Amino acid sequence: MFYAALSALGRELYFPKGILTQTAEAKRDAHKYNATIGIATSGGQPIYLPALMELLDDMKPGEIFPYAPATGLPELRSLWRDHQLEVNSEMEGKVCSLPVVTSGLTHGLSICADLFCDAGDLLLLPDMMWGNYRMIYGVRRGADIRQYKLFNDGGGMNVEAFRRALMGCADGRKVLAILNYPNNPTGYTPTLEEAREMADCLIEAAESGANIVAVIDDAYFGLVYEEGILKESLFGRLAGSHPRLTAVKLDGATKEDYVWGFRIGFITFSPAADGEAESVHGAIEKKVGGLIRGTISNCSMPAQSLLIKAMKSPGYRQQKEERCRLLKERYEEVKAVVNDSRYAHAFSPHPFNSGYFMCVEVKGPGAEKVRLHLLRDYGVGVISINERDLRIAFSCLEREQVRDLFDILYKAVEDLKYDD
Ligand SMILES: Cc1ncc(COP(=O)(O)O)c(C=O)c1O
């Protein structure tokens, strides 16, 4: 089943037996001289520029300057797996591959597209989604993208629309679906019930004969601010749930650890393998290793080393929690302010309960017009994501700025109403 889910490129990929394998063997066995490594060393350490090293006083040259393995530093991969198991109880006992290090989640999504998506393959996405999926899956791989409405009119998640879209195209074919919670741009995470129903839809489609690839984009994992909503990754629930369902988890340090420029993400698989998961994991790792080798070669060594140190440091968890609390305070302020009845005829919020963002639907003028007016006449930057909706990142607003921002937004919409 897993083989059938792979793209033509996915089937072709392999990890080359060349310099990398020979270097690995030499690293293990060349006790006297090792002349295989593609870097320059002196005194057993990589040669480095002190001007660079001074910036990273606590780091050893060997943690900064050499190449990292194509699939990432083994210690970091294990630490990340342990961390995932700790925060995702539903992953316990599930057979999953060891995470492979990617250059951020974007790279992980791109690996996933190369592995599973041929031109014309079906990809289900909500109507409110991270725009880059179109580039990665539509433009680069020629996916046939079908969208469903994320929200129903009552203000919850439109699970029925997802079910209809899925069952409407499943009929024994391969279907990819990207599930991103907390969602960008809406900042919505499903309730536990909605999440269970979404997972059930995918299992039902697999049961009906479709080959399902569920791509779980956990970019904003952990940033949930309400009770009764999904706190764990949907990957845990989907892993091993059906022999025709492959689950792929994309996550990383980018947002979870507030290191956007580090470019460190991870990709973890639970392939539709029907009892042969272990051997399939080996094959996937080689394919992914080959793909990384053939595109970016390997991911940033300094960033991986720094992340290992951070994850092992005693303050790591607490510092993460503190930052999450800070975002939660901003979320609560937005929630308190945005529902002010004064604003109701200018804009109304879409459901939000997590992440970095929230969206408002503008009433009257188009969202792009409001965005430009806000920018030019009020010096306020927001994102217009379609003709009606604006995305507001409370992740980069101080709590004290929230009310003022919505007051300005209100004024801007009112200005334009009387403009026409
Ligand atoms: C939903 C979603 N997925 C993936 C990414 C990409 O993350 P990275 O910067 O690690 O490539 C982003 C970044 O904004 C995102 O919003």
HEC-encoded secondary structure of 355-374: CCEEEEEECCCCHHHHHHHH
Ligand 1 atom 2 nearest Cα: 219
Tell me: pLDDT of 420 over 60. Answer: no
Please answer whether residues 151 and 161 qualify as being in contact, where contact means their C-beta atoms are separated by less than 8 angstroms.
no
Kindly tell me if the per-residue pLDDT of 275 is higher than 70. no
Confidence of residue 274 (pLDDT cuts 50, 70, 90): low
> Pseudo-torsion of CA 332, 333, 335, 337, nearest 10°?
160
- For the stretch 126-142, pLDDT in tens is 999 999 999 999 999 99
326 alpha carbon – ligand 1 mean position (Å): 21
Structure token pair of residue 142: 């020629």
Q: Nearest CA to 190 among 217, 160, 150?
A: 150
| Two structure tokens written together for 277 | 């998961």
Q: What is the pTM of this model?
A: 0.93
Task: Indicate the pLDDT class of residue 264, thresholds 50, 70 and 90.
Answer: very high
Q: What's the pLDDT score for residue 56? A: 79
Give Cα 300 distance to the centre of its chain.
Answer: 18
Specify the pLDDT at position 38.
66
Q: What is the pLDDT of residues 176-216, one digit of tens each?
A: 999 999 999 999 999 999 999 999 999 999 999 999 999 99
Please, how many CA atoms are within 13 Å of residue 140, restricted to the half-sphere of its CB?
18
Which structural domains are found in the chain, ordered by start?
A: 2-7+69-312 (3.40.640.10), 317-419 (3.90.1150.10)
CA trace torsion 135, 137, 139, 142 (10° rounding)? -170
Q: Which amino acid is at 394?
A: F
Instruction: Give the Å distance between the CA of 150 and the centre of ligand 1.
Output: 19
Please say whether the beta carbons of 102 and 111 come within 8 A. Answer: yes
pLDDT (mean) for 388-410: 93
CB within 8 Å of 102: residues ≥ 6 apart: 108, 111, 250, 252, 264, 265, 266, 267, 292, 299
Specify the pLDDT at position 278: 77
Using most ligand atoms within 8 A of CB, pick from 132, 263, 307 the residue to mutate for ligand 1.
132
